[in-house]
Amino acid sequence: MELELAGKGAIVTGGSLGIGRAIALELAREGVKVAVNYRRHDAEARTLVEEIEKIGGKALAFQADVVSFNEAEAMVKRVVEAFGRLEILVCNAGITWDGPIWKMTEQQWDTVIGTNLKGYFNYNRAAAMVFKEQKYGKIVNISSINGLRGKFAQTNYAASKGGEIALSKSLARELGKFNVNVNVIAPGLVMTEMAKGIGAEFLKKALDETVLGRFATPEDVARLVVFLCSDASRHITGEVIKIDGGQYI
């Protein structure tokens, strides 16, 4: 199946590590020009850009805090200027700061909601303005199955991920007439470097929830993102697609 993505421009937030890194690489392999957003991991972002360039792709690294409304607008503008185009936005930047609600602080709540939900609003809004004018665009927001089912000690995270889903569905309604697709991917536990540091007991419990008996890799998520960013998925919008090995059925 020919995905016809070559030459298009993309932004991937939280793109220097884990799922975001895999998404940036997979898009680049399809010939997409990729702008990698990052906040702290400068060396990793630069290494990723070099890796993409080695396979013949084009990439740029942009340091910007997704919580900043102004930095999001500025990054989108700079990417359009650098690439001469922007057709794809993948929002992936996110954090956790767990604790049962009776122990959760205001800072824990505000920080997670700010990064995971306001950050998505900032970039969805800035990209939507470009996509609306050119009457074309693909937005993929990376959420979580915990935004659908909830999770103990993650009221902040689950609320933010549920909010991303509601944001995406509303945006799909608003942008549909402008030929813009907006979809959500809701992974279960994905075996990133960060996940490998989770305790064995927690990992076993999550693995036992799956029906396939395995965890997703970042590349599993990235391949689905690429499909949703292509016109092979042109009639799919407002959807939430779980990629969790049956962890939440």
Please report which helix (H) or strand (E) contains residue 141, including its range.
Answer: strand 137-142
SS3 for 88?
Answer: strand
Is residue 154 a contact partner of residue 148, using CB atoms and an 8 Å limit? no
| C-beta separation of 135 from 178 below 8 A | yes
Instruction: Kindly give the residue spans of alpha helices, DSSP state H, lying in the chain.
Output: 18-29, 42-54, 69-83, 106-113, 119-134, 146-149, 155-175, 200-209, 218-229
Q: Is 120 a catalytic residue?
A: no
Contact 144, 161 (CB under 8 A): yes
Q: How far apart are CA 90 and CA 138, in angstroms?
A: 8
Dihedral of the alpha carbons of 118, 129, 5, 223, in degrees to the nearest 10: 20
Catalytic annotation, pick one of 38, 136, 157, 248 = 157
Q: Which residues are CB-neighbours of 20 under 8 A, at least 6 positions away?
A: 12, 13, 14, 36, 90, 92, 93
Residues belonging to the active site: 157
